[in-house]
Amino acid sequence: MAIYQYRCAEHGLLEVARPIGTAADSEPCPDCATPAPRVFTAPRLALGSARNRALIDRTARTADQPAVVSAPPSRRAVPQAHDPALARLPRP
Ligand SMILES: [Zn+2]
Going from the Cα of 12 to the center of ligand 1, the distance in angstroms, rounded, reads 7
* CA-closest candidate to residue 11, choices 27, 24, 20, 21: 27
- pLDDT of 77 reads 61
- pLDDT of 72 reads 81
Going from the Cα of 9 to the center of ligand 1, the distance in angstroms, rounded, reads 7
Residue 86 lies in a domain: no
- pLDDT of 61 reads 87
The rounded distance, in Å, linking the Cα atoms of 22 and 20 is 6
* Domains of the chain: total: 1
Secondary structure (DSSP) of 21-66: T---SEEE-TTT-PEEEEE-------SS-HHHHHHHHHHHHHHHSP
Going from the Cα of 7 to the center of ligand 1, the distance in angstroms, rounded, reads 8
Residue 31 lies in a domain: yes
The rounded distance, in Å, linking the Cα atoms of 71 and 62 is 18
Residue 9 lies in a domain: yes
* CA-closest candidate to residue 44, choices 85, 4, 10: 4
- pLDDT of 47 reads 61
Going from the Cα of 52 to the center of ligand 1, the distance in angstroms, rounded, reads 34
Identify the three-state secondary structure at position 10: coil
Range(s) of the domain holding residue 7: 2-64
Residue 75 lies in a domain: no
Residue 35 lies in a domain: yes
Low-confidence ranges of the chain (pLDDT < 50): none
Residue 79 lies in a domain: no
Going from the Cα of 42 to the center of ligand 1, the distance in angstroms, rounded, reads 23
Going from the Cα of 16 to the center of ligand 1, the distance in angstroms, rounded, reads 14
